[in-house]
Every structure is written in C-alpha cells, then in structure tokens.
Amino acid sequence: MSHFQLSIILASASPRRKQLLAEAGFKFTVIPPDIDESAFLSDQISAREYAEQLGLAKAKNVAVKFPSRLVIGADTVADFNGQIIGKPADAKEAEQITKKLFSTPHKVITAVAIVRISDGTELSESDTTTVYPKKLTAEQIADHIKSKSWQGKAGAYAIQKNGDEFIERIEGSLTNVMGLPMELLQRLLERIVD
C-alpha cells in the first residue's frame, strides 16, 4: 500500500501545509488541533525541541479523536541566535521580528509528527534550513507590515509568496521554510508503511 492511499489527517489550519500535501498527491482531511501554543514556550528549551513538542502535541490532540487514522502535525519556528521566533501577535511585533530576522542569517525549523493511536505509531523529527535574507529598507519593512502577509506566519514572512524580494538564498529545504518539509515527511511515512 503506497502512502498516497493512506487515510491521513492533517492536524493544521495552515493553507500552505494543505497546499504542499495536495500538490504531492496525498489524500487527506484537514482537522485543526485545539491546543494553546503559548503553554509550550519556555526559556529552558531549544527552538528545535519547542517545534518538535508542539508538532507532536498537535498530532496527538487530533489523533485521540480518530485512533485508527494517521495524523500529521507540524510546527514551524524561526531560530534567531537561539531565540525562538513564532507567529507575531500584532503589527508592532511583526515589525520588530522583521527588523531582527532580516538583518542576519537565521534558521527556520519545522517539526513533523506522525501519530496513529491504534498501533502506537509516534514519530517526530525536524528539519532546519538556513535563510540568508536581503537587507530590507525601512520602506520595504513598512510595506511588508502594511500588507498583513505576516499574519499567522512564523518569523512574520511566507517564503513562497514574495520570498525572492526578501531572501538572498537558502541552505536546505524550501518546503521546510514553507511549513512542511516534504522530504522529511516522505522519509517518516516510509518508516511506517514498510
């Protein structure tokens, strides 16, 4: 049975994750998790651990309601010199994040978790991409904040919409920066199917 035929649930409200899965040919249902992301934040935790814990919590939150289905959860954060940068709460925070992240290379980490309660399946790994930003002018930053395209995006930007305008180059997976590292997802699914 190929993993394209699996009965998958995507535990995410992200339109980009949905798009990436659909473009890869997966059949799936979208059921957003109901968890408080702020409850997971801690000074004692690395950006990678935070993303992995949150991705797993999202998958488990939905998997409990559908024990026989394979549930994919994911979480994306930006790592700025060890500081975890998630989704901005408002325009002011989005501006602060944009000024910070677009001054120096930073990492984008997406954790992928796959959970199926019925057979005890529980996998969680993450992928890291280094993003080399272009230096933005004050005007470009102001336009970005006005555009509201930062809403709901870790690090306050979405690479595929206007990535070229902001990004010099990346080292690693592009789909990872978009919110769902497809190469990692394929590897994890292969471990389940085999």
Q: Which fold has domain 8-193?
A: Maf protein (3.90.950)
With tokens 């026989």, the residue in question is 68
Q: Between helices 138-147 and 91-101, what is the axis angle to 10°?
A: 140
What is the pLDDT at residue 150?
79
Q: Which burial class, exposed, middle or buried, applies to 164 when counting CB atoms under 10 A from its CB (0-12, 13-18, 19+)?
A: exposed
What is the residue-level pLDDT of the chain in tens, covering all 194 positions?
455 567 899 999 999 999 999 999 999 999 999 998 777 777 788 999 999 999 999 999 999 999 999 999 999 988 988 888 877 888 898 888 888 888 889 999 999 999 999 999 999 999 999 999 888 888 888 888 888 877 777 766 766 544 567 788 899 999 998 899 999 999 999 998 65
Phi, psi of 30 (to 5 degrees): -100, 120
Which residues are catalytic, by number? 75
What is the pLDDT at residue 132?
92
Q: Whose CA is closest to 21, among 37, 10, 11?
A: 10
Domain range annotation of the chain: 8-193
> Which residues lie closer than 8 Å to 47 by C-beta, 6 or more apart?
77, 78, 79, 82, 83, 84, 107, 109
DSSP one-letter code for 136? P
β-pairing verdict for 28-30 and 83-85: unpaired
What is the pLDDT at residue 3?
57
Q: Which burial class, exposed, middle or buried, applies to 177 when counting CB atoms under 10 A from its CB (0-12, 13-18, 19+)?
A: buried
DSSP one-letter code for 151? T
Q: 3-class SS at 31?
A: coil
Phi, psi of 60 (to 5 degrees): -65, -40
Helix (H) or strand (E) holding 163: helix 159-166
Query: How far is Cα 124 from Cα 111, in angstroms, rounded to an integer?
Result: 7
Amino acid at 88: P
With tokens 């004692």, the residue in question is 44
